[in-house]
Structure 1
Amino acid sequence: MRHLRTTTENGGALAAAFPSRLADEVHAVLTVMPKSRHPSMSPFLVRVSGESVAIPYRIHHDEPPAGTEGSLTENQRLILHCLYSRHGDGRIRQRRLERVVGSGEPWAAPFVVQLVGEYVLEILEAIRRGLPDLAVPGSAPWLLYGDFVARNPAFFRQTERRVVSYWSCYHRHRYPVFGTYPGCLLLESLRAAAAVRSGTSWPRHTPPPLAGPARS
Structure 2
Amino acid sequence: MIVGVDEFEVETPHGPARVALEASNLTCGLLVLGHGAGGGIEAPDLLAAAGAAGSTIAVARVLQPYRVAGRRGPAPAVQLDEAWAAVLAELMRRFPDVPQVHGGRSSGARVACRGAVVASPPPVGVLALAFPLLAPPRKDGTRGDRTPEIDAVDAAGIPVLAVSGDRDRFGVPPEAPHREVVTVRGDHSLTAKGPIRDAVEPWLGKLLPTPPGPIS
The answer to whether the superposition gives a TM-score over 0.5 is: no
Larger strand percent: 2
Larger Rg: 1
Report the TM-score, using the length of structure 1 for normalisation.
0.36
Flag the structure with more relative contact order, 1 or 2, with Cα contacts below 8 A and sequence separation at least 6: 2
